[in-house]
Amino acid sequence: MSWQDAPIVQGGTSWQDAPQASFLDRAGRYAKGVLREAGQGLTLGFGDEIGAAIDATLPARELISQVRPISQAENWQARYDENLARERGERRQFAEQNPTTATAANVGGAVAGATLLPASMFAGATLPMNIAKGAATGAALGGAQGFGEGEGGLGNRLRGGGTGALIGGAIGAAAPVVSSAIGYGYEKAAPKVLNFIANKADDYAPKVVPGSLSAAAPEGGMVTQDSLAATIADSSRGAANRIEGDAAVKRLATEMARSGGSTQARQKLAELGEGAFLADTSKGAGRLANLGAILPGEAGEKYTAAFGQRNAQTGQRFLNTLGDEAKRPSMFDAQQFLDKYRSAKGSQIYDPVLRNGQFNISPEMDDLLKVPAIRETMDQIIADASKYGVDLGAAEAAHLVKQTLNKNVEAAFQSGKAINKDMVRKAGDAWEKALWSANPAIREADTAYAQIASLPDWLERGANFMKAGQGEAAVSVSPAALAADLPGATGPQMQSFRTGSTNVMRDAATSGPESTRRLAKAIADNEIMQQKLAEIYGPQVADDLMRRSAAERTFAKTQGTVLGGSQTAERTAAIADDAALTIPTGSSSPVSLLQAFFDRYAKMRQPNEAVRSRLADLLANPDAAANAETLRLVDEILRQQTGARPFAAGVAGAAGGNFSAPR
């Protein structure tokens, strides 16, 4: 019955007894009935009590009664009772005359009320969780509304609340199963129907011989002519593709919801940086990818190709992290340069000091010249120079004493002669100390040259630091050695160290993903190395290297999860997760029927080949913009699901309240 024909109740009298009522009056009374039912649902069945209490409390009741009927009894309780009876009478008559409208308005109010509840009450990801929360919210809303709709004493209201809770809980528990089953059934059936239509339309689409040879049709072939049938075929296939694409995003959204949500996925992608897949962001996403990789179809090929391509870029990602540091010269070129640099700088440093004619001989040096070993060494130096026609000055000869002593003793030791190396070393040190004391300029030159001469050693130490080997080389780059030497290293020494270190990392990065990830593991697992990297390269580059190393370990782990998992174990886990419950089997018992239902439901939930292929495109994509768009779609779907769950809870509560309410 439409609202134009609806009887309008005023003080218990139908508008059938008031034929003088206008069209607008009937419309207004009908709207009032709708709003009253909506309010009843919104307030969980307490709308009539609330309205009666307000009318009983309002001042100027005489004035209000001229507009609408309210009680004028002397005390509040009497006014409340009369108003409540009138409210319920009007509701009953409206519901009798407009049952569909009354029910729809009541349910709509209950749904609106459910949307005001905290979102956490409806948040769920797995089917068992959604069933449990649906049952709980349905029971709570149904029980409350059944209690509110009840009439009479407390006992009647409690019975109404209990009935409402049972009915609301049952409907609330069934809603997630029914809605998901409908959704999964649609995503599988609709593309099949649309593709069937497309194939049939192809049969009726006219074919013509192309005017010229083209890639679309080889010689003697035919091409489809534009027609209504061709348009239907294209549109149907396009619609099927969109449904499958949406189904893939919905599967991903469900997995995201149970694995920390899209916010966590975004944070993980930002943390992993270049080359990150959505499959890297959570265990659930990895499991979803594994399911696609182990089942038949092109999804497995897509995952294999995507991981292979990402592995091929491992070294380049590491070099990108090094930035400008990766451009340092090779070890060979650096060694050649340092040798030439040492020779050139040696002349620049010593010529002004040793050949300027200013040389002091202290009494201490005179005493040391009386030592046979030192005197003989000085004479040998001068004699050797004369052999080659070199006029060697006193300063140059004195400067070569310690070096010549060390060479002579080493040669004697190598020839097998018995010689006290420690005594010779002490004599040479004493001479050098006396020489420096008398000639400070020579000491400064020696200090400057020693720094330059040490650069090849620093280059080698940098390489040994990243190699993390054993033996004497490892000792020179041990934590204790570096802690002692790095703080006092000069700029050129640190540059040489960085060059050696960078060469090892660059060699690993250009040797393949395995060597690069071994290097990444060494960096990620060694805190001392991380600390020293910060001292060598600075905190920014070191932090980037540590993040890159951690990311590469995650990438390797994801690949192992997706491509290297046990097929039997992963498939069993996926089906068990989809089925949500494990029911013992039986022949024809109710339990076996329930088992069959869940088996069927699990099969329905398992994504088909087309959806698995679309999921591979989403889960194994290194493009940051594409991943951001996918997560935006995930958020949109999760918002839609969040809005649908309060609707289901409101319907369950309204059903429970209405079934238990007296009519």
Domain ranges of the chain: 1-113, 117-252+590-663, 332-453
Lowest mean pLDDT among 23-37, 281-295, 308-322: 23-37
Q: What is the mean pLDDT of residues 630-637?
A: 91
Give yes or no for residue 60 having a pLDDT over 60. Answer: no
Query: How much is the pLDDT for 261?
Result: 85
Phi and psi, residue 586, nearest 5°: -155, 170
What percent of the chain shows pLDDT beyond 90? 28
pLDDT of residue 8: 42
Residue 174's pLDDT is 59
- Whether the per-residue pLDDT at 566 is higher than 80: the answer is no
How many angstroms separate the CA atoms of 638 and 636, rounded? 6
Which of 155-159, 161-165, 388-392, 591-595 is the most confident on average?
A: 388-392
Percent of all residues in the chain with a pLDDT value above 70, rounded to a whole number: 59
What is the per-residue pLDDT for 379?
87
Q: For residues 356 and 314, is the Cβ–Cβ distance under 8 A?
A: no
> Sorting pLDDT into bands at 50, 70 and 90, what band is 520?
very high
The residue with greater pLDDT, 440 or 228, is 440
Does position 231 have pLDDT exceeding 90, yes or no?
no
Pairwise CA distance, residues 334 & 458, whole Å: 11
What is the rounded (10 degree) CA torsion for 520, 524, 528, 534?
Answer: 70
Listed ranges 31-40, 155-164, 506-515; the one with the highest mean pLDDT: 506-515
- Of the candidate ranges 79-88, 521-530, 549-558, the one whose mean pLDDT is the lowest: 79-88
Q: What pLDDT score does 260 carry?
A: 81
The 3-state DSSP class for residue 43 equals coil
Please list, in sequence order, all residues whose beta carbon lies within 8 angstroms of the beta carbon of residue 35, skipping any fewer than 6 positions away: 105
Q: Residue 37 is encoded by which pair of tokens?
A: 């039912």
> What's the pLDDT tens digit per position in 384-405?
888 888 888 888 888 888 888 8
Q: State the average pLDDT over residues 31-38.
A: 69
Place of tokens 């049969």: 203
Residues 604, 182 contacting (CB under 8 angstroms): no
Whether the per-residue pLDDT at 298 is higher than 60: the answer is yes
Q: What is the DSSP string of 217-281?
A: B-TT--EEPPSHHHHHHHHHHHHHHHHHHHHHHHHHHHHHHTTTHHHHHHHHHHHH-TT--GGGS
- pLDDT of res. 55: 61
Mean pLDDT of 376-381: 88
Please list, in sequence order, all residues whose beta carbon lies within 8 angstroms of the beta carbon of residue 606, skipping any fewer than 6 positions away: 291, 574, 575, 578
With bands split at pLDDT 50, 70 and 90, how would you rate the model's confidence at 240?
A: confident
Asked if residue 36 has pLDDT above 80, the reply is no
pTM here is: 0.65
Per-residue pLDDT, 480? 85
CA dist list (Å): 334 to 110, 448, 460, 501: 79, 20, 10, 12
Q: What was the pLDDT predicted at 454?
A: 92
Q: Tell which wins on pLDDT, 366 or 225.
A: 366
**Mean pLDDT (the chain, rounded):** 76
pLDDT exceeds cutoff 50 at 595 = yes
Asked if residue 653 has pLDDT above 60, the reply is no
List pLDDT tens digits, range 118-132. 555 555 555 566 666
